[in-house]
Amino acid sequence: MSAANGTNELLVSVEGGAGRLRLNRPRALHALTRDMCLAITQALLAWRDDPAVRLVLLDHAPSADGDPKLSRGFCAGGDVRALWESARVDGVAARDFFRDEYQTNHLLFTFAKPIVAFMHGITMGGGVGISQPAKYRVVTERTVFAMPETGIGLFPDVGGGWYLSRLPGRMGEFVALTGARLDGADCVALGLATHFIPSADLDAVKARLIAAPDEVEAILAAATTAPPPSAILTRQAEIDRLFAADRYEDILDALEADGGEWATAQRAVLAEKSPMACKVSLRLVRQGRDHRDFAEEMRVEYRLACHIVQRHDFVEGVRALLVDKDNAPQWDPPAPGRVSDHLIDTIFSPLAEADEWRPLSA
């Protein structure tokens, strides 16, 4: 059986005992649209009680014309340009996108059948959101993992507050604030991935999984190789020390006071980020450690998304980095000290009851 959604952005099929979800927007590095999220949800709901589907494989389709440049991303995130266009009008489509995307994230997180996500290539933002819920998360030597949202006035959403808050020490704060890029070895070391498999072996592994879906653990274990040493783990002690403060300004002061080459580089990175987005992200990671379940995480993140998407920093950040590409965003407020606790409290405040996020009903 094989089917695809109307725009061919997501290829949906059942092969052997495996349901397959293949992202298919190569020229956009498979960035997620609302239609893609809805199609993922529709497929998962159809497969939930289908005995013929015993395993779900989530990856990206290769470029039809064979261009390797178009096959370098698993998923670069959400369709930020579409969100930006909505934010400049009334924000309705943007809020609809976040609601549906987060319902997809939650369904993946709670799906009873095992899911294997192949985080091969660029895995950022929305790509993190659809891969991290999977029981099995495969990385390769070409994996590039990041949550770079503070650079566009947003925050690490799609469950970022849950996943990053559960990284060792203050690694979550570091990744959320700086948008640091992690490779496959880093992902395995931090628990963001379960298996490291050379990219040349992926097609054969997928074929074996399709043929014997009940042997998923043995197949992945047999294909796994030892990753290189993790570079980010060598910085764990520095990260734990420099990103320990509860106040964003204190983290900046710690980086300034350290004066070392690495700390100075991180301070320079943070100088380019939205101060408002950084304060929101820091609170989200800290608060995420106390969230009782993933639905609570998604409910909080939806509030943040609704409050932020039409604020100046998101509109300006996308303009500067992705539309005009002048890389010179003018943040408002322009400095961390000007971002009041009241503003952050407002962004975290509940929505009207009818507008709050809810998971899909059973």
Q: Which positions are annotated as active-site residues?
A: 78, 126, 149, 157
What burial class does residue 279 get, using C-beta atoms within 10 Å of its C-beta: 0-12 exposed, 13-18 middle, 19+ buried?
A: buried
Give the whole-angstrom CA distance, residue 250 versus residue 103.
35
Distances (CA, A) of 18 to 47, 203, 346: 10, 14, 45
| Distance in angstroms (rounded) separating the CA atoms of residues 191 and 188 | 5
Tokens of 15: 């092969």
Among 155, 111, 108, 114, which residue's Cα sits nearest to residue 129?
108
Q: What CA dihedral angle connects 127, 129, 135 and 136, to 10 degrees?
A: 20
Burial of 263 (0-12, 13-18, 19+ CB in 10 A): middle
Cβ neighbors of 39 (< 8 A, separation 6 or more) are 5, 9, 10, 12
How far apart are alpha carbons 320 and 333 in whole angstroms? 16
> Cα–Cα distance between 326 and 320 in angstroms, integer?
5
- CB neighbour burial string for 143-172, b if at least 16 within 10 angstroms, e if fewer: bbbbbbbbbbbbbbbbbbbbbbbebeebbb
Q: Is 311 left (phi over 0), alpha (psi -120 to 50) or beta?
A: beta
- DSSP E strands in 111-174: the ranges are 115-119, 122-124, 136-139, 144-146
